[in-house]
Every structure is written in C-alpha cells, then in structure tokens.
Amino acid sequence: MIGGGVNGVWVARDAAGRGLSVLLCEQDDLASATSSASSKLIHGGLRYLEQRQFRLVRESLREREVLRENAHHLIHPMQFVLPVGADSRPAWMLKLGLWIYDRLGGTSSMPRSAAVDLGSAEFDGILQNEFVEGFSYYDCWVDDARYVVLNAVDAARRGAKIRTRTKCTAARRESNRWRVTLRGMDGKDEEVRCRALVNAAGPWVSSVLENVVGQNTANAIRLVRGSHIVVPQLYDAAHAHILQSPDGRVVFTIPFEDRFTMVGTTDVTMDVAFTADWRPPSIDADETAYLCDVVNGYFRKQTSAADVVWSFSGVRPLYDDGAGSPSRITRDYVIESDAPKGEAPLISLFGGKVTTARKLAEAVMSKLRGRFLNMRDPWTKEALLPGGEMDDFPYFADELVGDYPAFDEVWLRAIARRHGTRSRAIIDTARKQTDLGWNFGGGLYAAEVDWMMAEEWAMEPDDILWRRTKCGLAVDAQGRASLADYMSRSRSG
Ligand SMILES: Cc1cc2nc3c(=O)[nH]c(=O)nc-3n(C[C@H](O)[C@H](O)[C@H](O)COP(=O)(O)OP(=O)(O)OC[C@H]3O[C@@H](n4cnc5c(N)ncnc54)[C@H](O)[C@@H]3O)c2cc1C
C-alpha cells in the first residue's frame, strides 16, 4: 500500500481485517497531504446534485449514517444555514435540491431541511440585513486527520504494518509478485515483496505510476487545489453556513476549535511538474482575497487577509471527465486496476472523498478477491473506530467531565473529542492536571504527546500541533521549541 491518506489507511484497515498481510508506507506523516486539508465534512455534497451526480451523493449520504455510528467522538452532526440573496440560486431551486438531499440517502438520523427566518433570535446579528430568508439542513463534521490516524491504529491492531516517513521509490513486477523498494528516514533502502500493490498516493498518483512503477499514464488527471483560511470567530454560534458566491461556487464557514471560523474552499487547476520533493503549494493571495470577499458579502463582521491565523491547502487528483471548470469535474472516485493474467495486480486510486473512503476500500477488496482466495468477507460497516465505543458523544463527554473533577473541563472536552473512550488511557494515573506533565500551551500536555508518539506514529511537532491536534493555533514559539526538544529527547531515549 503506497500512501497514508484516508484512502490508503482505509484499504489497509479493510484488507488487514480480512486476514491479508498488509504493509502501508507513507513518505511523510499520516494525513500529511489532502486528507488533513479537506473541508472536514462527512457529507453527501449538496452542490453535486446540481451536476446530477446522484450516485455519488446517494452513496455519500448513506456513508454519513454508517460512519457516524462508528465514530461518535470524531464525527458530529452540524447544522448548515444556506442564505438566499440576490446572487444566489432561486429559493424554489434550493428547496427542491434540499428535498432531494433529504431523501436520496434513505433513512437518516439527521434532522430534515427547513426554511429559516434569518432575522429570528437564533440567527440574528450574524449576516447582513439583506439576508432574511434561508434554509437549514444537516451534515456531519469530522476531524479528518484524526480520522485517518485512528483508521491506521485499527489497521495496525489487525496486523497491518504502518511505516511513516518511508517512501516507495521503485516497484517492479516479478511475475506474480511485486518487488518494492522502500526508503526510510535514514536514507537506507529496503526491499519487500507483495502479491498486490495499491497506489493510494493522492496527488502523486500519476507520479508514482510514472516514476515508481515506470508506466506511462494514459489517463488524464486534473490536479485541483482547494484552500481554506482560519480567522477569529466571525459569529458566536454552533452552526455553519454554505454561501453562494457570485461566480456560482459555494464557500463554507464552519465553527473551528471554539474560537475560530474556518472558511473555504477555492478551486484552482494546477499544472505540476513533479520533482522528488514536490509538496502541495500553500494558499496564494488571490485565493485568500476571494474567500474574504465572499465572507464580506454576507457577514456583518468583516474579515481580511490580516486576520488569517492559519491556512491549509489540499490537492485533489481528479479523473478528468471533460468538464470545463474545476468545480464541475466529478469528485467520485475511480479505481483503475492493472491486473494482467498471471501477474501481480496494481490498483490505482483517483479522486474520491473522505466520506466515501470506506466504500472505496470495499470496492478495492472486490477487485482483489480473485487473487486472494482466503480473503474474508466485508466487515467494516459496523466496525467502531478506536475510541468510538459510545452511543452518544455529549453524554460521554459529560461523564468524563464528571469522573475527573480535578481536571480542567475545557481540556477534558477537547481530549474527549480527540480520543473518545481512549481518553482515560491518556489520563491514566494522573490525579490532577499538573500530573499530566509539561504543558506546551493550548491544552497540550506531555502525557498526550507521549501517547501520540507511542500509539499514533507522531514523530515531529507538526504531526501533533496541526494534525493529531490543532493546538498549533495556541502554542507559541517557545512552546513549540519545547515540544521539538521534548520529542527529540523522547525519540532518542
Ligand atoms: C480542498 C478540499 C476539500 C475537501 N473537502 C472534503 C470534504 O469536506 N469531505 C470529503 O468527504 N472529502 C473532501 N475532500 C476530498 C478528500 O480530502 C480527498 O478525497 C482525500 O483526502 C484523498 O485522500 P487520499 O488518501 O487519496 O490522498 P492523500 O490524503 O493526499 O494521501 C496520499 C498520501 O500518499 C503519500 N505518498 C505519495 N507518494 C508516495 C510514495 N512514493 N511513497 C509513500 N507515500 C507516498 C503522500 O505523502 C500522501 O500522504 C476535499 C478535498 C480537497 C482538496
């Protein structure tokens, strides 16, 4: 398995649970690329209805139900407000779209859509006065990076080997086996043999085909960058917005880490010449200005580039279906199977969503079934993610707060969201907050750092500050330096 994004870890987890022997290599950290840079929604994708992508929306809405049941700590229902304004699609069209959205996935645990009065007490004071009419619907929010890490944790529990900071540099067929070269952090090469190779390299998918496997890629890939900005809270409420911009695209504003609002996304087609150290580029000034302009067209509180406290960009490797604008290319996944008779198969993954990665993994397993006759049946639909052993997250979080009265409530709730039922193992024998060891800032204590290094493959400060937590929003330069020093001593000790 090449790639430790959401698709790679899901395939690894599914395969390991079916009794296959799995090795996953990730050149950087888990979720270091697109899978920590998504809009963090487990959603059907309301806007894909406009493009008549009913299969994708139906599957995604069904998955929303399945995934939520299995990860109550990471996946939370969220209300979205869709204001109707002069530049928006007509109200009748939005109403029709939401009616379909409510029904397309079958039975749903989420409240149905409804018309809302934006002047009512619930929404008053947030948007500009001209926005009086709107709709409300529900989708789910996910901590995307933690979702990836916890899938990897479960894959490892089921026997998969997870190697981070390990790059696949070459892969050659030797009849019914692949001979694969892996390069670790120490620069040393190691050769492994496997019966099937899955290329889940995300934006690098075609680069892996060309430069690692040595194939010419016949299929057309469009690399589309999407960026988000994080600004101080634009409004003090738990709901998100889906804003229609004058160019017809949509932009989300989502409450983020208690004190912030996340705004995104852009859609920029990129021409990439892959080099050995290529990494997705960060947001540019035009994208920031675009997102601020959309926000400023709706909200009372105005924002500008100077307010941005953090930004992140991800690149989608989309299967070019000939659609003109980047927003219109299908977000559905495409699984390409190269499996000549008598030779080891190669499966390459294009596009997809965080929401559909479990289904994608099932589809990959179906393609490999004929080659692994001892493969067990599908099992992931009802499999809890580590830490997800609960029926109701708010109840679980209240219980945790009640059980540890000597600890800071805000910290306990954050830990509950990150680790679910595994929170108790992190608190372990600590009796009070200071027993958790050094405080690096932002609620990040040594006990959690130790846990993430021991259980979640964290190796560098950014693995913890920006992926396994978002404490990077609060940790200052001194805290960061202490963390780097602490992690380096832990690694060598
Ligand atoms: C802006 C944006 C917003 C999105 N919002 C949503 C959303 O709200 N909901 C949703 O469901 N989906 C969303 N998506 C889609 C979703 O994020 C992607 O489909 C998903 O993250 C892709 O995962 P992946 O595993 O294919 O790729 P990645 O996460 O990019 O993982 C590929 C990994 O492969 C590794 N790799 C590459 N080459 C090698 C090599 N030679 N050896 C070892 N490792 C290698 C990379 O380091 C990388 O970590 C969004 C996407 C974008 C860009």
pLDDT tens, position by position, 389-432: 999 999 999 999 999 999 999 999 999 999 999 999 999 889 99
Cβ of residue 97 lying under 6 Å from some atom of ligand 1:
no
Cβ of residue 280 lying under 6 Å from some atom of ligand 1:
no
Protein residue closest via CA to atom 33 of ligand 1: 3
Q: Which pairs count as long-range contacts for 251-256, CB under 8 Å and 24+ apart, including other chains?
A: 251/291, 251/294, 251/295, 252/39, 252/41, 252/80, 253/295, 253/299, 254/39, 254/40, 254/78, 254/141, 256/230, 256/470
Which numbered atom of ligand 1 lies nearest the CA of 203? 30
Maximum alpha-carbon separation in the chain:
68
Mean pLDDT on 101-105: 91
- With the most atoms of ligand 1 within 8 angstroms of its CB, the residue from 204, 212, 277, 287 to mutate is 204
69 band by pLDDT with thresholds 50, 70 and 90: very high
CA-to-CA separations, 99 to 62, 104, 137, 301, 304, in angstroms, rounded: 16, 9, 10, 31, 35
pLDDT of 252 strictly over 80: yes
67 band by pLDDT with thresholds 50, 70 and 90: very high
269 band by pLDDT with thresholds 50, 70 and 90: confident
Which numbered atom of ligand 1 lies nearest the CA of 30? 49
Higher pLDDT residue, 53 or 8? 8
Cβ of residue 5 lying under 6 Å from some atom of ligand 1:
yes
pLDDT (tens digit, 9 = 90+) per residue, 169-198? 999 999 899 999 999 999 999 999 999 999
pLDDT of 451 strictly over 90: yes
CA 232 / ligand 1 centre spacing (Å): 27
pLDDT of 213 strictly over 70: yes
CA 353 / ligand 1 centre spacing (Å): 8
CA-to-CA separations, 217 to 34, 177, 214, in angstroms, rounded: 21, 21, 9
- According to DSSP, the β-strands at 197-199 and 346-350 are parallel
Cβ of residue 2 lying under 6 Å from some atom of ligand 1:
yes
Which numbered atom of ligand 1 lies nearest the CA of 167? 42
Cβ of residue 150 lying under 6 Å from some atom of ligand 1:
no
- Percentage of residues in the chain having pLDDT higher than 90: 82
Measured in degrees and rounded to the nearest 5, phi and psi for residue 144 equal: -60, -45
pLDDT of 319 strictly over 90: no
Cβ of residue 35 lying under 6 Å from some atom of ligand 1:
yes
* pLDDT value of residue 218: 62
Q: Please answer whether residues 26 and 163 qualify as being in contact, where contact means their C-beta atoms are separated by less than 8 angstroms.
A: yes
* pLDDT value of residue 393: 97
* pLDDT value of residue 326: 64
Cβ of residue 4 lying under 6 Å from some atom of ligand 1:
yes
Alpha-carbon torsion (154, 159, 163, 168), positive or negative: negative
- Percentage of residues in the chain having pLDDT higher than 70: 98
pLDDT of 341 strictly over 70: yes
CA 213 / ligand 1 centre spacing (Å): 20
CA-to-CA separations, 284 to 228, 267, 311, in angstroms, rounded: 11, 12, 10
CA 16 / ligand 1 centre spacing (Å): 21
Mean pLDDT on 463-474: 98
* pLDDT value of residue 88: 87
Domains in the chain with CATH codes: 1-40+143-219+325-388 (3.50.50.60), 393-492 (1.10.8.870)
CA 324 / ligand 1 centre spacing (Å): 23
Spatial CB neighbours of 268, under 8 Å, sequence gap ≥ 6: 224, 225, 226, 227, 287, 326
Cβ of residue 38 lying under 6 Å from some atom of ligand 1:
yes
3-state helix, strand, coil in the chain (%, to 5): 35, 25, 40
- With the most atoms of ligand 1 within 8 angstroms of its CB, the residue from 24, 39, 141, 165 to mutate is 39
pLDDT of 321 strictly over 70: no
CA-atom Rg of the chain in angstroms = 23
Tokens encoding 2: 């090449």
Please name which of 2, 1, 14 lies closest in space to residue 357, comparing C-alpha atoms.
Answer: 14
Computed over every residue of the chain, the mean pLDDT equals: 94
pLDDT (tens digit, 9 = 90+) per residue, 2-46? 999 999 999 999 999 999 999 999 999 999 999 999 999 999 988
Mean pLDDT on 119-146: 95
